[in-house]
Structure 1
Amino acid sequence: MTNDLYDYSPITERAPITWPGGAKVAAYVGLNVEHFVPGKPSTSIWPGTADLVPDPLNHGWRDYGTRVGIWRTLQSLDRHGFRASVLLNSDVAEHYPQIIEAGLERNWAWLAHGKTNSILHTGMSVDEERAFLSEVVGTIAAATGQRPRGWMGPGLTETANTPALLAELGLEYVLDWTNDDQPYSLKVPGMLSVPYTVELNDLLLFGKSFTGPDFVQIVKDQYEQLLADSEHSGRVLALALHPFVIGQAFRAKYLDQALEFLAAQPDIWLTTSDEIADHYRVQTSSDSAD
């Protein structure tokens, strides 16, 4: 199939982006807060038992995130002044209301992340998907008091109709297309793609046997290269975290070190994906007017 969602645009041929306060790199934490259905195969630490029902080994590993890991992780975020951009399964509102309450106290940005990460966002007709997305968005809006403005599908999944249906519901950007260091416009009117990452992502990194010190160094390397790249135009650093991974006790100090490093950088804008989308939209609209 041809790609009808966006055009090719080399980053070397775009109008410059500037971030608030003269910052060179806009950095946000994409905090995945997810519900997993017992008995359904999903993200696994040991595939050998993933098809068993019940599967205590893998489900327990995932479930650690909402019971323990999220509370350790938010302490690190608080300590270093990070306001999370939360990729929220709508089922979290029913099953873990204490997490919603903690996020409201911290003014987190809430993005729609499907209903549960046990089900990928695929295989629906247009009408089925429209009803499904409306339910997800409505549930999150009711629980948080804020209508989500961004979307990331479970496992970064979409149908060919997802961006247009999200636009119908008033959403403004997606994170699923991890192909850039800057936001860009989609062909769906009013919709942006905002950078996310499957590389600077605890689930993928630690799944490849990287260590805590490796993680800290990778965060530093990512920032330093993006800073160098930003000489003429701003860049986005997305840090993707999962509480059942980064929230493990033996990794806590390494998250602290990575966040401490980022928070200390003079050329960084610690922000949310919502604010990145807003700033990009305003700036590009002004550039078009000029």
Structure 2
Amino acid sequence: MKHTRFEFSPIANRKPVKLPNEARVALWVIPNLEHFHFDQPSTSIYGGTAGLKPDILNYSWRDYGVRVGVWRMMEMMKKYNIKGTAALNSEVCAEYPEIIQAGKELEWEWMGHGTTNSKLITSIEEAEERRLIKDVLDTIEESTGTRPKGWLGPALTETINTPDLLREEGIEYLADWVNDDQPYPMNVRNGEPLYSIPYSIEVNDITSFLSFGHTPEQFYQMLVDQFDVLYEEGKTNGRVMSICLHPFLIGHPFRSKYLEKAFSYITSHEGVWLATGSEIVDYFKTAHEKDVIDQMAT
């Protein structure tokens, strides 16, 4: 099956992107704020108990993130003037209102992230998915005072209809498609602009620690190396660097120490734009939309 969401557009053929204030890299940090159900399996550190009901080991390991890890992350990001774009399960709003209040005080952006990461968005009918998306956005708006402009599916899951339904509900950017270093427009059936924004499945603590088996030191080096290359390329064509984080992983002290080292390194450079998802997409649409649409159409 061939999708029709966008045309192939090699970055080497695009008109160079100029970021605000002559920045080379837009740094986009995404804390995933998630709620997990006690009796359902999800991300696990130990497979031996992952199928049990209840699975106390893995459930309580994930629960560390909302009880401790996210608070350590918030202090660290505040120290380096980094405003998070939180990928927010809507159930977090009722389960952990203290996190919502703290994020509001830090002026974080809120990005829809489904209801819970115990339930993926797949194999559901269009009408049901439409209701789910609306409920998520309504809940987040009621809790935070702001309706999300962005969306990240739980585990980056979608149906064939998801981008269309998201745009119908006012979503302006989508982070599920991990295939670029710059935003680009996607085709949706109502013809309104929906932008893909660079998210990463590799510059991501889930895959780094649980799939690749990296140490915290290796994760730090990966962040530094990713930044160094994008920073050099950004001299002539601006790039977006996403850092995708989960408080139940990176929020542990022995890991967070190395995230802070990476933040210190990155923010010590000139020409780094500390941005939220909406700021990146709004600027990109204003400054480069015509260039991008023309290039995507060729």
Q: TM-score, normalised by structure 1?
A: 0.97
Name the structure 2 match of 1:218. 222
Name the structure 2 match of 1:89. 89
CA distance in 2, matches of 1:26, 1:4: 28
Contact 2:200 2:243 in 1 (8 A): yes
Name the structure 1 match of 2:184. 184
Pairwise mapping of residues 190-205 of structure 1 onto structure 2 (< 5 A)?
A: 190-205=193-208
Compute the RMSD of aligned alpha carbons.
Answer: 1.4
**Alignment deviations for residues 149-179 of structure 1 (CA, whole Å, 9 cap, x no partner):** 0000000001111111111111101000000
Describe the shift of the 1:23–1:98 C-alpha distance in structure 2 as closer, same or farther (beyond 3 A). same
User: Equivalent of 2:233, from 229, 250, 263?
Assistant: 229
Contact 1:150 1:173 in 2 (8 A): yes
User: Equivalent of 2:270, from 262, 266, 270?
Assistant: 266
User: Equivalent of 1:279, from 275, 278, 283?
Assistant: 283
CA distance in 1, matches of 2:293, 2:113: 34
Name the structure 2 match of 1:137. 137
Describe the shift of the 1:260–1:191 C-alpha distance in structure 2 as closer, same or farther (beyond 3 A). same
Describe the shift of the 1:266–1:129 C-alpha distance in structure 2 as closer, same or farther (beyond 3 A). same
**Alignment deviations for residues 95-145 of structure 1 (CA, whole Å, 9 cap, x no partner):** 000000000001101000000000001111111111111000000010000
| Secondary structure at the counterpart of residue 110 of structure 2 | strand
Contact 2:185 2:292 in 1 (8 A): no
CA distance in 2, matches of 1:172, 1:251: 33
Describe the shift of the 1:172–1:205 C-alpha distance in structure 2 as closer, same or farther (beyond 3 A). same
Contact 1:81 1:263 in 2 (8 A): no
Give ranges in structure 2 of 5+ residues lacking alignment: none
Q: Which amino acid aligns with 2:145?
A: G
CA distance in 2, matches of 1:287, 1:164: 23
Describe the shift of the 1:244–1:287 C-alpha distance in structure 2 as closer, same or farther (beyond 3 A). same
| Secondary structure at the counterpart of residue 21 of structure 1 | helix
CA distance in 2, matches of 1:252, 1:178: 24
Name the structure 2 match of 1:245. 249
Give ranges in structure 1 of 5+ residues lacking alignment: none
| Secondary structure at the counterpart of residue 155 of structure 1 | helix
Contact 2:116 2:154 in 1 (8 A): yes
Shift of 1:4: 1.3
Shift of 1:51: 1.1
Name the structure 2 match of 1:206. 209
Name the structure 1 match of 2:3. 3
Q: Which amino acid aligns with 1:123?
A: S
CA distance in 1, matches of 2:292, 2:243: 30
CA distance in 1, matches of 2:35, 2:50: 16
Q: TM-score, normalised by structure 2?
A: 0.95
Flag as ranges the 4+ runs of structure 1 deviating above 6 A: none
Describe the shift of the 1:235–1:86 C-alpha distance in structure 2 as closer, same or farther (beyond 3 A). same
Are 1:108 and 2:108 counterparts? yes
Contact 1:90 1:139 in 2 (8 A): yes
CA distance in 2, matches of 1:222, 1:289: 27
| Secondary structure at the counterpart of residue 52 of structure 1 | coil
CA distance in 1, matches of 2:78, 2:289: 34
Q: Matched residues, percent identical?
A: 45
Contact 1:32 1:240 in 2 (8 A): yes
| Secondary structure at the counterpart of residue 221 of structure 2 | helix
| Secondary structure at the counterpart of residue 28 of structure 1 | strand
CA distance in 2, matches of 1:217, 1:29: 17
| Secondary structure at the counterpart of residue 192 of structure 1 | strand
Describe the shift of the 1:281–1:269 C-alpha distance in structure 2 as closer, same or farther (beyond 3 A). same
| Secondary structure at the counterpart of residue 104 of structure 2 | helix
Shift of 1:287: 4.7
Shift of 1:288: 7.8
